[in-house]
Amino acid sequence: MDLFAAPQRVDELRRLIEHHNRLYYQDDRPEITDAEYDALFRELLALEEQSPELVISDSPTQRVGGVALQKFSQVMHRLPMLSLENAMVEEDIVDFDQRIKRFLGLVADPVIEYVCEPKMDGLAVELVYENGVLTGGSTRGDGVTGEDVSANLRTVRGIPLKLNATDPPELLEVRGEVFLPLEPFRRLNAEREEAGEQPFANPRNAAAGSIRQLDPRIAAKRPLAFFCYAPGEVSGHGFLSQSQFLKAVQHWGVPVNPLARKVHGVAEVVAYYREMMRDRETLPYEIDGVVVKVDSFAMQAELGEKSRSPRWAIAWKFPPRQAETVVEAIIPSVGRTGVITPVAQLRPVEVSGVMVSRATLHNWEELGKKDIRVGDTVVVERAGDVIPAVVRVVIEKRTGAEQSLAVPESCPECGSRVVKIPDEVAVRCLGLSCPAQIRESIIHFASRRAMDIEGLGDRYIEQLLSLGLLHSVADIYRLTREDFDRFERMGDKLAANLLAAIDRSRRCDLGRFIFALGIRHVGEHTASLLAQAFGSIDHLAAASEEELLAIREIGPQVARSITGFFSEPANREVLAALSAAGVTPAAREKKVGGRFTGLTFVFTGSLSRFTRDEAKRMVEGEGGHAAGSVSKKTSYVVAGEEAGSKLDKARELGVRVLTEEEFLTMVEGEEQ
């Protein structure tokens, strides 16, 4: 083909391939055979190899996966990806409907319009389209920060690399679920078993494992699918409702579950749920319930969110599937937070296609209520069709030989005192040096938001533990160059860098140090409050519950957790060892009446003169507040390179925008 005709043919092939992708993956009505599709794809691939300058990022050929990554980078979601409150029975949905009407102040009894969608059992992700082109994608993560899995998401053939829109939004964040349909899941497991590999437990694990592969070529080989269920941040386009949004993105080529439906009132919600529960076994993918959302975005905005979930949506879960088996043993298991949970070792039984041999008994109080004993015949279910749990004992099958298990008085791992905290059902080991908890506590202690020991990641911590060099967080500060000589492939420079990072962390911020200790219920914000209130770790350790409760935002549960932590002898020993090792946390002074008092700053873009943590410290050190989003209350937006929607929002609201240099000038005390 001549050089003039090639670009036109390449464009034509891309349009054809995306057209047939849409027919196959979204409309389920392919017009050509697989062989004909493969011929079009091979032709496009050959033309792009012949003329590399014609290759573009949104070409269908770019779905095959590229170079493997070393690790995933972190992505902050512009808007939090919240979890949903669960409903288990019809009364929960009726209550949900009534709560919405009360909150909105609807005196009459109007019919609320909802959108109902099957609750997919996959991995929640966010796609980012800028001017119609897919520029990135991430996992939900903790709802605020996810992992950048853009390379893997590009391999999912149902996800359009470019929106089919003549006038696309400037920014469109699409949230949805990546999943593996049942038939491909069964084929994948059969192939893994033939290759001598461990099969996936369920389609959700297979989907999540595929998207979190560091090598995108692995994800490209797996027939993953995607359904959109919600918007994130959108600019350059407006939507009035969930149903309108779903219709629009579907028109632009983004897959939407065809079973999503707008309904009128709670009676139609119930009818939809019953229909989905009846048809779930015939669907080509797994669902574990129905998601119900208020259709109107104006109503959604008025209803707002609670701390972890929106008020305008709820997940109505299906009853879990069950099976009968025998409890062969009950084993106390210590979790990473010290909770000691009874775990049932079961005679293996198949539940929803998965062999189950262990099941949680939740807690000792629940174990006592259900009177579960070793030797009992029990009913087991996979809660949400995933997590095995014992539902009840089949009393009529008891023989009298069954044996009860008492609540342990000491930790089965470290022998520390076991306590049951008032108002909690959990039995807990408070030992900071408990072997069962030590790995997670050290990883947390060294993490960027805690002691920020650069380079001391999971892999090195695992090696240090296996070599018997770490028994508590204090042991980090006893490490020597000779200790690192025992590592495989540890060079002089890397060892020197690790030791220097450890040494730097000895002089740390008190708030970070308190957070690093991993005290239950004490997050970064609470740790900062405690640092400001007490000024030293010794004063905090000696504080009474009454003194703690005198601090605004500290409630009884947090106060009890703090005093309980510092009353444990093993924890006091670790703190003494840290002090002896030269760890000297100091409270960061916050100026009263500082030059930033009453001012709110937002930082956006790539910052070159300082990190975001450093910027936050500079602002708070002058009495100001560093926020994560732009609003009418924002005083200044500090914009680095490649600033995005926050900069646009600032300009829209008339908020003053500063360069990094202008911000530093303000910090130094010069007027702007």
In sequence order, what are the residues at sequence separation of 6 or more whose Cβ sits closer than 8 angstroms to the Cβ of residue 532? 511, 587, 590
**Is 119 an active-site residue?**
yes
Could you give the 3-state DSSP secondary structure of residue 576?
A: helix
Residue with tokens 């530093």: 664
Cα–Cα distance, 212 to 209 (Å, whole number): 5
DSSP collapsed to 3 states, 356-402: EEEEECCCHHHHHHHCCCECCEEEEEEECCCEEEEEEECHHHCCCCC
Please enumerate in sequence order all residues whose Cβ is within 8 A of that of 75, keeping only pairs 6 or more positions apart, or say none.
136, 138, 141, 145, 146, 147, 148
**In b/e form, how buried is each residue of 529-567, taking b as 16+ CB within 10 angstroms?**
bbbbbbeebeebbebeeebbeebeebeeebbbbbbbbbe
CA angle 286-289-290, nearest 5°? 115
Token pair for 500: 């220097």
The torsion defined by the Cα of 171, 174, 180 and 182, in degrees rounded to 10, comes to: -140
CA angle at residue 531 from 145 to 607, to 5 degrees?
40
Q: Which amino acid is at 394?
A: V
Say how far apart CA 353 and CA 201 lie, in whole Å.
Answer: 9
Cβ-Cβ contacts under 8 Å for 121 (sequence gap 6 or more) = 179, 202, 203, 204, 285, 286, 287, 288, 384, 385, 386
Please name the helix (run of DSSP H) or strand (run of DSSP E) that holds residue 627, with its range, or none. Answer: strand 625-627
- 212: its two tokens: 């979190």
Residue 370 structure tokens: 């259900």
Q: Across the strands, what pairs with 226? A: 178
Q: What is the CA radius of gyration of the chain?
A: 28
φ/ψ of residue 420, rounded to 5: -115, 110
Task: Let me know: does 219 contact 65? Beta carbons within 8 Å.
Answer: yes
Residue for token pair 């300058």: 53
What is the C-alpha separation between 206 and 184, in angstroms, rounded? 10
Are 179 and 107 in contact by the 8 Å Cβ rule? The answer is no
71, 101, 119, 397: the active-site residue: 119
Annotated catalytic residues are 119
